[in-house]
């Protein structure tokens, strides 16, 4: 998995694993129950060592992407890789 900014090794693999495990449970749950407008939260998986930009991960296509992303005004946005709807990470609220 390469950094979307510089192509280097900026992504924290441990955070990626923890994130994907927790989101897996969420995706399983949301398939069985109708959770409505709740989208899974994008994972914050590191910071580019070159540019300092934050790196996010999509739980659907599991590809990293750059911030900032475009919000639709409801706290969600679309993954630039696969187009699925995601929620903005809580840690990113001020940033947006």
Contacts with Zn ion by CB under 5 A lie at 58, 60-61, 79, 81-82
Instruction: Supply the minimum distance, in Å, between the C-beta of residue 58 and Zn ion.
Output: 3
- For residue 15, what is the DSSP state? H
Rounded Cα–Cα distance for residues 93 and 36 (Å): 22
Instruction: Supply the minimum distance, in Å, between the C-beta of residue 41 and Zn ion.
Output: 13
Of 12 and 81, CB closest to Zn ion? 81
Of 82 and 96, CB closest to Zn ion? 82
Instruction: Supply the minimum distance, in Å, between the C-beta of residue 65 and Zn ion.
Output: 7
Of 1 and 61, CB closest to Zn ion? 61
Tokens of residue 6, six digits: 């510089």
6-37 burial code (b ≥16 CB/10 A, e <16): eeeebbeeeebeebeeebeeeeeeeeeeeeee
């Amino acid at each position: 998995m390469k950094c979307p900014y510089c192509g280097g090794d900026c992504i924290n693999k441990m955070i990626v694993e923890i994130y994907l495990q927790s989101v897996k449970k969420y995706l399983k749950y949301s398939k069985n129950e109708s959770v409505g407008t709740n989208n899974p939260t994008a994972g914050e998986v590191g910071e580019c060592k070159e540019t300092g930009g934050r790196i996010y991960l999509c739980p659907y296509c599991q590809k990293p992407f750059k911030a900032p992303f475009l919000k639709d005004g409801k706290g969600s946005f679309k993954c630039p890789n696969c187009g699925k709807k995601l929620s903005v990470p809580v840690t990113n609220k001020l940033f947006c």
